Amino acid sequence: MLQKSSDLTARLATEKPITVAILAMGGQGGGVLSDWIVDLAEAQGWVAQSTSVPGVAQRTGATIYYIEMLPAKDGKLPILSLMPTPGDVDVVLAAEFMEAGRAMLRGLVTPERTTLIASSHRSYAVTEKEKPGDGTGDPAVVVEATGVSAKRAIMFDMQSLAEANGSVVSSAMFGALASAEVLPFSRNAFEAAIRAGGKGVEASLRAFGAAYDKARAPADKAPNQQLPAKLLPPLPGSDPHPGLNRLLDRIRAGHPQSVQPMLFAGVKRLVDYQDIAYANEYLDRVETAYLRDAACSGANKEFAFTAEVAKYLAVAMAYDDVIRVADLKTRASRFERVRKEVGVKSDQIVYTTEYMHPRMEEVAGTLPASLGRWLEESPRLFKALDKMINKGRRVRTGTVGWFLMLNSLAGVKRFRRRTLRHAREIEHIERWLDLASKVIATDYDLAVEVVSCRRLVKGYSDTHARGHSKFDRVISQVPRLQGRPDGAAWLSRLRRAALLDEEGKALDGALQTIDSIYSDKTAA
């Protein structure tokens, strides 16, 4: 056994500094928080050292601040480190939820040492929000990792709490830090540091206090990371309007209970979008699908096919056209929502400007089908008209002239069924449902996936066209996938790949993989 001579080690002091790492994004006030902690420690007679690597002046990148503190001893100043050592950090403050994840990935959060104080709000990175689908990271993974990494965790939405108190996330985090009692300083000392800072003191103290209390409140073990629940109320018993009541009756009588809330959502959307008759058309199509579903032993699959049709058919039938946009933009409820969203006070006035860019395609689509087709088939005229129409228009909805214009456009709704766009949409819907109901006879799961692929069609103009082409490319694989044991899984994978990037590179890759697996390229 090796032993150090005891007189050697006896010469060494055993004190260790308290170590604190702050992970934040530029502009979140990480520097202010770091300064507060240093001021706090120094005011209590400790030696405190902070460092950072802020780099360039821009405000978006992830950055880290690091603080160590310890009192001097017999006049000797402690030697403090300029960077955190993984496994040796007492407190990690993360100003955003994925930054807490980053702290854990860097090994800064360890179960023997670390109290993790994190705001549970999300600020999505560019790579998350640029995806055509849902590219947001799953916060549940961070919650899970916290369970195995942190000695103790304090997590709640400090951003909202700070905003509600007219302050920024750093003051709420400072409050949570005080509340955690991991630094040997009193609440008064913390508050004194805020006061000494001298900027926005009152608001900071309010947010500090609120976070202090919140961090003490009996903790929900996991922070509330639920995304807003989809609004799917149960089917109402009846409705005073006879036409609507009949719709409810149809849903109740003709469909399994599990599908009814979605059907209700669909019917509600289509009545709002067009009228009762249109909602009945929708139910007609769903019923056809349901019969097919039942005939193909859908009961064993909890009528997954009908459920998907109920959802995506409603989306498809409520396609976005200029009439719909004009309708939505001019509603009283929308005016109210804007006031709320942009935070307009009662003594202020707000006007909105809409950015519209109509093209001849949209105009032709809104014309009666035959007229629209004729125009499209007269390229020179079409081009000439497009030259007049195709430009950005800034529509001031709150003024009388523009409102009247949009209002009458919304009124075109009653002619919608005769428009060229409508004819095209319905034709597409029928081809799509037709394919699905053919596939269901041999491959139930694949048929469900065929229906889900409709998710790819969204957006306006070029984006819409691109969505359509992705839909076509994915759907074109159905014949070769039909009957394969993993056919449905493949179609689902293609659909997800199509939502990963705009140009469809991921989809190209997935299609190549299919090609290499099923070398019967003739089916492609």
Partner 1 sequence: MAERSFAREVDDLKLGEGEIFRGEGILAITKALLQSGVGYVGGYQGSPISHLMDVLADAKGVLDDLGVHFESSASEAAAAAMLSASVMYPIRGAVTWKSTAGTNVASDALTNLASGGVMGGSLIILGEDFGEGSSIPQERSHGFAMKSQMWLLDPRPNLTSMVKAVEDGFELSEASNTPVMLQIRIRACHVHGEFVAKDNKRPAFPLKKALENPRRDVNRVVLPPASLFHDKEKLEQRWPKAVEFISSRGLNEHFGPTDGDVGIILQGGMYNGVMRSLQLLGLADVYGNSLVPLYVLNVTYPLVDDEVADFCLGKKAVIMIEEGHPEYLEQSLNTILRRRDIATKVHGKDFLSQGGDYTTTLMVDGLRSLMRTHAPRLLGNEPPTPDPKPVLENAKVKALTEVVPPRPAGFCTGCPERPIFAGMKLMEKELGQHHVSGDIGCHIFSVLPPFNIGGNTMGYGLSGAGTSAFNVKADKRPIAVMGDGGFWHNGLVTSVGNAVFNKHDGVILIVDNHYSAATGGQDILSSRAQNPTRSTNNTIAEAVKGVGVKWLRQIDRTYDVAKVRDTLKEALTTPEEGPKVIIASSECMLNKQRRVKPQFNQAVKGGKRMVRERFGVDEDVCTGDHACIRLSGCPSLSVKHTDDPLKDDPVAAIDNSCVGCGNCGEVSEAAVLCPSFYRADIIHNPTRLDRVAAKLRGLFIGFLQRRRASRQIAFAA
Within 185-244, the residues that bind partner 1 by CB under 8 A are 227-233, 236, 239-241, 243-244
Q: Which is nearer to partner 1, 390 or 513 (CB)?
A: 390
Q: Which is nearer to partner 1, 236 or 479 (CB)?
A: 236
Q: What is the nearest approach in angstroms of partner 1 to the Cβ of residue 376?
A: 18
Amino acid present at 297 = S
**What is the 8-class DSSP label of residue 336?**
H
List binders of partner 1 among 135-154 (CB under 8 A): 136-139, 141-142, 144-145, 147-149
Burial class of residue 196 in the structure, from the number of CB atoms within 10 Å of its CB (0-12 exposed, 13-18 middle, 19+ buried): middle
Query: What residues have CB less than 8 Å from 363, skipping those under 6 apart?
Result: 385, 389
Minimum Å distance from CB 83 to partner 1?
6
b/e burial code for range 311-334 (CB count within 10 A of at least 16 → b): bbbbebbbbebbbbbbbebbeeee
Contacts 24+ apart (CB under 8 A), 3-7: none
Q: Choose between 215 and 326: whose C-beta lies nearer to partner 1.
A: 326
Q: What is the DSSP string of 49-82?
A: EEEE---SS-S-SEEEEEEEEE--BTTBPP---S
The Cα–Cα gap between 301 and 271 comes to 30
Q: Which is nearer to partner 1, 121 or 480 (CB)?
A: 121
Rounded CA-CA distance 278/275 in Å is 5
Structure tokens at 411: 């009124």
> Out of 20, 98, 180, 507, which residue is the one contacting partner 1 (CB under 8 A)?
98
Window contacting partner 1 (CB under 8 A); options: 172-180, 373-381, 395-403, 514-522: 395-403
Residues 6+ apart with CB under 8 A from 378: none
- Judged by CB under 8 A, the residue of 188, 300, 346, 348 near partner 1 is 348
CB 190 within 8 A of CB 178: yes
How far apart are CB 370 and partner 1 at their closest, in Å?
Answer: 26
What residues numbered 466-485 form the site for partner 1, per CB under 8 A? 467
Nearer to partner 1, 278 or 374 (CB): 278
Smallest gap from Cβ 144 to partner 1, in A, equals 5
Residue 124 vs 213, nearer CB to partner 1: 124
- Which pair of tokens denotes residue 56? 């360039």
- Enter the DSSP assignment of 23: E
Interacting residues of 362 by C-beta distance below 8 A, sequence separation 6+: 321, 322
User: Segment 4-63, which members bind partner 1 (CB under 8 A)?
Assistant: 4, 8-9, 11-17, 25-27, 34-35, 38, 42, 48-63
Using CA atoms, how far residue 441 sits from 297, 436, 451, 481, 494, in Å, is: 10, 9, 14, 14, 22
Report in angstroms how near the CB of residue 39 gets to partner 1 at its nearest: 9
Minimum distance from residue 71 beta carbon to partner 1 (Å) = 11
The one-character DSSP state at 342 is T
Contact set for partner 1, span 169-188 (CB under 8 A): none
User: Contacts with partner 1 in 280-309 (CB under 8 A)?
Assistant: none
Q: What is the bridge-based pairing of β-strands 18-25 and 91-94?
A: parallel
Answer for the pair 259, 306: CB distance below 8 angstroms, yes or no: yes
Alpha helices, H only, 165-200: 169-180, 187-197
**Residue 388 near partner 1 by CB under 8 A:** no
From 106-114, 209-217, 252-260, 510-518, span contacting partner 1 (CB under 8 A): 106-114
Q: Using CB under 8 A, which residues numbered 247 to 266 contact partner 1?
A: 261-262, 265-266
Cβ distance to partner 1 smaller for residue 65 or 190? 65
Cα angle 298-299-300, degrees, rounded to a multiple of 5:
85
Among 123, 160, 280, 513, binds partner 1 (CB under 8 A): 123
Contacting range for partner 1; rule: CB under 8 A; set: 120-128, 186-194, 212-220, 295-303: 120-128
Of positions 152, 246, 252, 359, contacts partner 1 by CB under 8 A? 359
Count residues near partner 1 (CB under 8 A): 161
The stretch among 184-192, 289-297, 455-463, 482-490 that binds partner 1 (CB under 8 A) is 455-463
When binding is defined by CB under 8 A, the residue of 188, 400, 485, 519 that contacts partner 1 is 400
Reference 52, options 36, 32, 31, 69; nearest CA is 31
148 or 295, CB closer to partner 1?
148
12: number of Cβ within 10 Å: 8
Per CB under 8 A, the segment of 210-218, 311-319, 427-435, 484-492 that binds partner 1 is 311-319
Round to whole Å and give the CA distance between 381 and 393.
Answer: 22
Question: Minimum Å distance from CB 443 to partner 1?
Answer: 23
Confirm if 273 and 324 have CB atoms less than 8 A apart. yes
Stretch that binds partner 1, among 282-290, 339-347, 366-374, 426-434 (CB under 8 A): 339-347
Task: Using CB under 8 A, pick the residue from 43, 44, 88, 473 that binds partner 1.
Answer: 88
**Contact yes or no for 433/289 (Cβ under 8 A):** yes
Site for partner 1 in 411-440 (CB under 8 A): 411
- Sole binder of partner 1 in the list 220, 341, 377, 520 (CB under 8 A): 341
